[in-house]
Amino acid sequence: MQDKNILLTIAYDGTNYFGWQKQDNVKTIQGEVERALSNLFKEDINIRGASRTDTGVHALSQLALLKHKTTIPIDRLPLAINSFLNTKEIVVTNAIYVDESFHPQNSVYKKTYQYKIYNAPFLNPLVRNYTEFVHKPLDIEKMRQASSYFLGEHDFKAFCATGSMAKTTVRTIYDLTINKEDNIITIEITGNGFLYNMVRIIAGTLIDIGHNKKQPKDIEGIILSKDRQKAGKTASASGLTLYKIYYEV
Amino acid sequence: MQDKNILLTIAYDGTNYFGWQKQDNVKTIQGEVERALSNLFKEDINIRGASRTDTGVHALSQLALLKHKTTIPIDRLPLAINSFLNTKEIVVTNAIYVDESFHPQNSVYKKTYQYKIYNAPFLNPLVRNYTEFVHKPLDIEKMRQASSYFLGEHDFKAFCATGSMAKTTVRTIYDLTINKEDNIITIEITGNGFLYNMVRIIAGTLIDIGHNKKQPKDIEGIILSKDRQKAGKTASASGLTLYKIYYEV
């Protein structure tokens, strides 16, 4: 019997994990999911994620490819895996069959991240792990004006953590919206791919604009400079959530 | 110098606490705030809360009365207290002077609670501590129809945990709204006061209605019965947040 190609959707609270990717001696999302799968199938299981997320970063729909001969009905598989995950911090929310040609990175053509900022004089304990706390008021209109400069294909080297191994730093941003509700500002950004720390550096730069330290039109020059020093700080991991991954089957 | 009457507003994530009220040998919100105040003022401090919240219940604006001669400017006091709270789970968000006649229970004339339900096939790790997870679809329209029966002055004995010592079980509900956004159903309820577990029992009963186990018009009979057994289960503490307290000064 041949292995089936199974695509899992996984939601997680990354607060207490050293990111997605499996590492020795630390608790990671991939490590925990593989441990659950290994216990379920009683053999060593490896999965391949669509997107690495850093320490403290969350996901509502990470994707991971599982190859296995399992006879568990596909619609029962999430519950079966969840019963072996001894935590509510990681939940498999969907499982579907995909073609043998499916590749967890190459088949992905678009991703959406959300970056959330809690903007009020005092921290809100209920969202402390899922937002960046910014106590000085942010000018959301200026942030919106700035957002348009990110749209389209650009070399985003200025918005990439130094030391990144990316072959090219050119990426396309399809959409960048900024909304506010109950003191929470949500930056939602969709692109064909993101460089290392790119969303968090964009968020940090938009925070500077909201504080009038940079002007919306400065974004153009920052992009052209290809200089990481010209962009804003890397905003904290807690505010970032991998929201959706679009793929071709 | 006379004591000043200071009203503190306190937000907290109740997940890891044994409720508001100070108890020996367990971690409570009141206990932690009093410890911070005692360290700040270098003497034993007692505060009086406006509302007891149970283990696991949250608050965005609990109120507590502090009597102290402190010369710390009132607008700096929250930051001073927060610097002695060694956690982001509890945050003092405001401090104001109130009259000597202010009483943390008697001066309160209205409270608003929010009860949040995450209604989707699988749990969402990011809201697991702040919602009740209900996987079977809820008919929100039926829940809304039912909500109108709670409005006004009624004897809510059927919606009070047994063993409560309340002198009277008559309360007035001014408002009860139900909204849904991103799979989160928010029941917002405002009344002149609430019996022990009353909001959680109302939420549990509305969940039964949303599952078609009870009908909206059944609420009338349940209230009239004064029988706790006729109402629904007590929904979990995690979904409940003390949202706002209205007081006269």
DSSP string over B52-86 = ---TT-EEEEEEEEEEE---S-TTTHHHHHHTT--
Residues 6 or more apart whose CB falls under 8 angstroms from that of B8 comprise B33, B47, B63, B64, B65, B66, B77, B78, B81, B92, B94, B95
| B117 alpha carbon, distance to own chain's centre | 15
Round to whole Å and give the CA distance between B188 and B205. Answer: 14
The answer on B88 and B16 residing in a single domain is yes
The answer on A236 and A121 residing in a single domain is yes
Chain A residues with beta carbon closer than 8 angstroms to that of B92:
122
Does residue A102 lie within any of the structural domains?
no
Number of H helices, E strands in chain A: 5, 10
Round to whole Å and give the CA distance between B249 and B246. Answer: 10
- Which of B64, B97, B130 is a domain's end point? B97
Number of structural domains found in chain A: 2
The answer on B204 and B89 residing in a single domain is no
The answer on A121 and A242 residing in a single domain is yes
Round to whole Å and give the CA distance between B12 and B20. Answer: 10
Does residue A125 lie within any of the structural domains?
yes
Contact yes or no for A122 and B241 at CB 8 A: no
Does residue A103 lie within any of the structural domains?
no
Task: Give the pair of three-digit tokens for residue B183.
Answer: 């799979």
pLDDT at A164: 77
CB contact, 8 Å: A1 with chain B?
no
pLDDT at A166: 81
CB A61 within 8 A of CB A11: yes
Q: How far is CA B115 from CA A118, B42, B123, B131, in A?
A: 21, 38, 17, 7
The answer on A235 and A115 residing in a single domain is yes
Minimum-distance CB partner of A126 among B13, B122, B128: B13
Round to whole Å and give the CA distance between B4 and A52. Answer: 54
Does residue B19 lie within any of the structural domains?
yes
What ipTM is given for this predicted complex? Answer: 0.93
- Which of A97, A118, A142 is a domain's end point? A97
Does residue A38 lie within any of the structural domains?
yes
Taking the CA of residue B196 and the nearest CA in chain A, the distance in Å comes to 23
Round to whole Å and give the CA distance between A3 and A68. Answer: 5
What is the domain range of residue B179? 110-247
Taking the CA of residue A15 and the nearest CA in chain B, the distance in Å comes to 10
- Which of A97, A126, A151 is a domain's end point? A97
The answer on B73 and B137 residing in a single domain is no
Residues 6 or more apart whose CB falls under 8 angstroms from that of A179 comprise A185, A186, A188
| A228 alpha carbon, distance to own chain's centre | 20
Here the CATH number for the domain that contains residue B240 is 3.30.70.660
Search chain A and give the residue with CA nearest B89.
A125
The answer on A54 and A177 residing in a single domain is no
Does residue B104 lie within any of the structural domains?
no
Here the CATH number for the domain that contains residue B22 is 3.30.70.580
Contact yes or no for B125 and A11 at CB 8 A: yes
Chain A residues with beta carbon closer than 8 angstroms to that of B89:
125, 128
Pairs across A and B, CB distance < 8 A: 60
pLDDT digit string (tens) for chain B, length 249 residues: 789 999 999 999 999 999 999 999 999 999 999 999 999 999 999 999 999 999 999 999 999 999 999 999 999 999 999 999 999 999 999 999 999 999 999 999 999 999 999 999 999 999 999 999 999 999 999 999 999 999 999 999 999 998 778 889 999 999 999 999 999 999 999 999 999 999 999 999 999 999 999 999 999 999 999 999 999 999 999 999 999 999 997
The answer on B139 and B32 residing in a single domain is no
Catalytic residue numbers of A read 54
Does residue B190 lie within any of the structural domains?
yes
Round to whole Å and give the CA distance between A32 and A10. Answer: 12
The answer on B137 and B21 residing in a single domain is no
Round to whole Å and give the CA distance between A141 and A206. Answer: 11
The answer on B218 and B192 residing in a single domain is yes
CB contact, 8 Å: A125 with chain B?
yes
Contact yes or no for A91 and B122 at CB 8 A: yes
Residues of chain A with pLDDT under 70: none
Q: How far apart are the first and last CA of chain B?
A: 23
The answer on A72 and A124 residing in a single domain is no
- Residue of A126, A130, A179 for testing the chain B interface, max B β-carbons within 10 Å: A126
The answer on B150 and B59 residing in a single domain is no
